[in-house]
Structure 1
Amino acid sequence: MAKVSRIFIIVSSIFLLPLLANAQVNAVTFGKNRVQYKKFKWQFYQTDNFNVYFNEGGQELAKYVAQAAEAELPQIETATEYSLQRRANIILYNNFADMQQSNVGLETTILSTGGVTRLINNKMLLYFDANHAHLKKQIRQGIADIITKNVLFGDDLGEVAGNQTLLDLPTWLTDGYVAYIGENWSSNLDDDYKSEILSGNYKNFSALAYKRPMLAGHAFWYYIEEKYKKENVTYFLYLARTYKNLNKACLQITKKKFKEVLADMMEYSEEKYYKDIARRKAYPKGNFIDGFDISPRLNYYRFNVNPNKKDNSYVVTQFKKGQVRVIL
């Protein structure tokens, strides 16, 4: 478990407000605000790699988050082949309602220190819904998100601006990668994806990515793992950053253009799930029974098969002209 070194106290209604309001960077948004119904008295724990901010009543939960984040970090760094360059800020809320009031995250904080302006994009917002497994998933995906953005865009403001101008990756691709790193492909995810694929609502991958971007992106990276080896997942993203071109990165990994791989993925998924349905199709057990013709002018009910397995007879009740007949 990670050692929590110190507790710092901050009293404010809003944490880390932007010191500079204007910067021509796509990641920065302006003019947004939320009405706050309560003031937050912020404290934070500091570990080797994280500052965990919490408010009243969240001290024990913050300890858990700090320890869990330190425990999860090495595995995520191994998966992304990249190390966290500086402490990440975790803003922890006791519940979802508190997080909805927060102004944190509406703007990317810009901090000027020592004459150097830096983009503070290494923060994550967490909330507790009484489910520790869900909280841990938020932690993993939050760390993965910070590292992924550092890999793709860097830390320095100028570097971020330059990289975002040149590197235009689909949101579903980067968010899907974060989801892939943060959570292993599971039976629940597979069932969700299977339902979408077999729904018949999507003519191509773009339609799926538009409707379910996170799921589509997660499924894409899992497909790359299945078809082209797990080690090529992060390498694919690295090549996309290096070449600043998805087609070039895709050609080196798959020998195909990016759109061709997406089409292959949809075809592969449909074939896989339709075969699964065929294997699971339930066939009725028992012996064959000769049928009989049903007249549209008659009513039939109470059909029963002889429980004796050696006898293929049946009985059905027929209603005709006010009379009830039993047919054997």
Structure 2
Amino acid sequence: MFKRKLIFVLSFVLLLLVPTICTAQFYFGKNKVQYTNFDWQVMETEHFQIYFYIEEEEIAQIAADIAEDFYPTLAARFKHEIYRKIPLIIYSSPNYFTQTNVTWSMLPESVAGFTEFLKGRVVVPFHGSYHDFAHVIRHEMVHVFQIAKLQSVMSLSLQQRMASPPLWFIEGQAEYWSTVWDSEADAIIKDMVLSGNLYTLENIYQISGSFFMYKLGQSICQFINDTYGSEKLILIYENWWKERSFNKIIELTLGEPIKEISKKWQYFLQKKYFPEIAEAGLAKREARQLTKKGYALKGVPVQFKNGENTEDWIVFKANKMGYSGIYMMSPSG
């Protein structure tokens, strides 16, 4: 049974997408209670302000090292620098984390970190795993750069209206650049492919916000990187001001409509997880249709010698003249 804790979500980058936050995020009849009075300290590094309380100073130092080590990587990938110090608020346990007043909403147990949009604050608790702790910090740092990059591009272009980025792209890219493709992610995608339940880019919204969406988004971003070029994931941001919808931005950047990109991504996964497809391929993806009218079937490739030359032909059964017959045509059409 899949019981993986979501360790990356509640990114307030979503405030880019909607003008108001739904009041349904409140739990009816409950208030957020702060049981603990924290004596906050501030640790400043080159790019960060680390907020912590004295009991967790060691964890705060680890967080500072992780964040500073990852900053140059993201600055290079996004081709962007953040000149203000990024606020990074650390809690030593999930229980303390749920008391945070950075957001007024109640934090469910599945949330283990978020990036707040208005002031660009990153809030991360320590869950006991240093590996996951580093992953969450890197993931949320990607969100910080995503917000800063979009703000910069739209400001330089003097555009006031901005296309809304879909959650699968925002979270998928954050996953792709913050962690490796591991056996857990592979098992999730493989199960979807083999069971015939793989979502397309057109209907992935149906699982928006779920852990499955994160891994599908990671897979899609990796596919874009490997198929269209590593520079495309950033060129998408550079082209953001040129179109009014995300689908159009993708088409402008990658040169193909998002529906075709979705088909190619699905076919790539089918070839990866179905050995027979990987070896032979699917006709609708690998072949070119030669006949357009009536029925034509049982095509057989043959070769004829014409003097010193050898010609390729296709022999097939069809009903071109109103009754079945045997025909032949060149593979070139």
Instruction: Please state which band the TM-score falls in when normalised by the shorter chain.
Output: 0.5 to 0.7
Change over 3 Å in CA distance of 1:72–1:57 after alignment to 2: same
Q: Which residue of 1 aligns with 2:167?
A: 171
1:131 deviates by 1.3
SS of 2:263's partner is helix
Distance 2:89 2:175 in 1: 20
TM-score normalised according to structure 1 size: 0.65
1:92 aligns with 2:90: yes
Mapped contact 1:121–1:146 kept (Cα < 8 A): no
Change over 3 Å in CA distance of 1:243–1:203 after alignment to 2: closer
Q: Deviations over 1:43-95 (max 9, x none)?
A: 11011210111124111111111122111100111122211231111110001
1:245 deviates by 3.4
Q: Which residue of 2 aligns with 1:17?
A: none
Change over 3 Å in CA distance of 1:190–1:241 after alignment to 2: farther
1:251 deviates by 3.0
Change over 3 Å in CA distance of 1:143–1:28 after alignment to 2: farther
TM-score normalised according to structure 2 size: 0.64
- The within-5 A match list for 1:57-136 is 57-106=55-104, 120-136=118-134
Mapped contact 2:193–2:269 kept (Cα < 8 A): yes
Distance 2:54 2:18 in 1: 34
Distance 2:196 2:246 in 1: 28
Q: How much is the aligned-residue C-alpha RMSD, in angstroms?
A: 3.2
Distance 2:195 2:243 in 1: 36
Q: Which residue of 1 aligns with 2:18?
A: 26
Residue 38 of structure 2 aligns with an amino acid whose one-letter code is: F
Change over 3 Å in CA distance of 1:256–1:131 after alignment to 2: same
Residue 18 of structure 2 aligns with an amino acid whose one-letter code is: N
1:239 deviates by 1.9
Q: Deviations over 1:110-168 (max 9, x none)?
A: xxxxxxxxx74321111112211111111111211101011123599x99xx75x4321
Change over 3 Å in CA distance of 1:27–1:91 after alignment to 2: farther
Mapped contact 1:45–1:51 kept (Cα < 8 A): yes
- The within-5 A match list for 1:1-328 is 26=18, 29=21, 34-106=32-104, 120-154=118-152, 165-202=161-198, 204-211=200-207, 212-275=212-275
Change over 3 Å in CA distance of 1:97–1:148 after alignment to 2: same
Distance 1:218 1:187 in 2: 13
Residue 167 of structure 1 aligns with an amino acid whose one-letter code is: A
Mapped contact 2:166–2:246 kept (Cα < 8 A): no
Please, which runs of 5 or more residues in structure 1 have no aligned partner? 1-22, 108-118, 280-328
Mapped contact 1:228–1:253 kept (Cα < 8 A): no
Mapped contact 1:50–1:88 kept (Cα < 8 A): yes
Distance 1:27 1:154 in 2: 20
Q: Deviations over 1:163-184 (max 9, x none)?
A: 5x43212111112112222223
SS of 1:126's partner is strand
Q: Deviations over 1:87-112 (max 9, x none)?
A: 111110001111112121347xxxxx
Change over 3 Å in CA distance of 1:106–1:182 after alignment to 2: farther
After the TM superposition, list the runs of 4 or more consecutive aligned residues in structure 1 that deviate by more than 6 angstroms: 276-279
Distance 2:16 2:215 in 1: 31
Distance 1:196 1:121 in 2: 38
